[in-house]
Amino acid sequence: MKSDMSELVERLIKIGVLKTSGLIEAFLKNDRQNFVPGIYSWRAYENSPISIGYSQTISQPSTVAFMMELLQPKSGDKVLDIGFGSGWTSGILSVSVGKNGTVLSVEIVPEVYKFGKGNLSKYHYSNIEFFEGSWTDLAPDNFDCILVSAGADSTVPQKLALLLKLGGRLVIPVNNFSGQSIRLIKKISENEFDEYNYPGYIFVPLV
C-alpha cells in the first residue's frame, strides 16, 4: 500500500517538476508530515505552502521540487541551505549529497530554528551542521550549491554569489515588478556568472 508521501511524490513526477532519481529518493525519505506543525498534519500532502508560525511557511512541494531540480545537488557536494525553516529542504539535501557531502543549514528566526532543527532530529542525519543567525555572519567558505528559501531584493546579493565554487549553482527567489522570480546562478569563472530567470513565485523576505 502506498503512503501519502509516495502519492505526493508521484504527483510531483506527473506534473514534471520532480525528475531526478536521487531527488525522488530524497523526497521519499523525508516525509513532509514530519516537518509541518501538528495542527496542520492533515494538510501535509497538499501541494500548497503551510504556515509554520512567525510569518514563515514550509514551501509548496512543487516549488521545492522545482528549486531542487535547478540546484542539482549530488553525492559529495557541500551545500548551504539559507532559511531552512521547517527543515524539510535540509533533509532532502542531506539525502541528496550523501555521507560524503555536507549541508550547512542557516535560520535567523530563533523559534523557527528550534522547530526545524527539532524536526530534523527525527532523522539523525550526521551530515548537517546548523547555524542560528544571518548568512552574512558565516565564516568565509565556498559551496557547490546554495539554496535560498526567502526572497531577495531586486538583485542577487553579490556576497552570496561569491560563496559559490567554480561550477557551483545558486537558486534564489528575487523580487521583480510582478512578484518574485526564482533565479538560477551558475558560476562559470572566477568573475563570470550565467543567470536564468523563472517568474511567478512568492516567498517571505530574505533577512
Which residues belong to the active site? 59
CATH of the domain at 116: 3.40.50.150
Q: Domain limits at 38?
A: 4-201
Residue 66 lies in a domain: yes
Chain-centroid distance of CA 181 in Å reads 15
> Can you read off the three cell numbers belonging to residue 146?
546554495
- Distances 99 to 27, 102, 126 between C-alpha atoms, Å: 17, 8, 8
DSSP code at position 152: B
Q: Is residue 27 part of a domain?
A: yes
How many domains in the chain?
1
Q: What phi, psi does 57 have (nearest 5°)?
A: -135, 160
Q: Is the residue at 206 inside a domain?
A: no
In this structure, the chain runs to a length of: 207
pLDDT in tens, the chain (207 residues): 356 999 999 999 999 999 999 999 999 999 999 999 999 999 999 999 999 998 888 999 999 999 999 999 999 999 999 999 999 999 999 999 999 999 999 999 999 999 999 999 999 999 999 999 999 899 889 999 999 986 566 566 678 888 999 999 999 887 766 667 788 999 998 888 998 888 656 555 455
Q: DSSP for 111-139, please give it.
A: HHHHHHHHHHHTTT-SSEEEEES-GGGSP
Torsion over CA of 16, 19, 24 and 26, rounded to 10 degrees?
Answer: -110
DSSP helix/strand/coil, 170:
strand
Note whether residue 207 is domain-resident.
Answer: no
Q: What is the pTM of this model?
A: 0.92
The runs of H, that is alpha helices, within the chain are 4-14, 21-28, 61-71, 88-97, 110-121, 158-161
User: Does residue 60 sit within a domain?
Assistant: yes
The answer to the question of residue 51 being in a domain is: yes
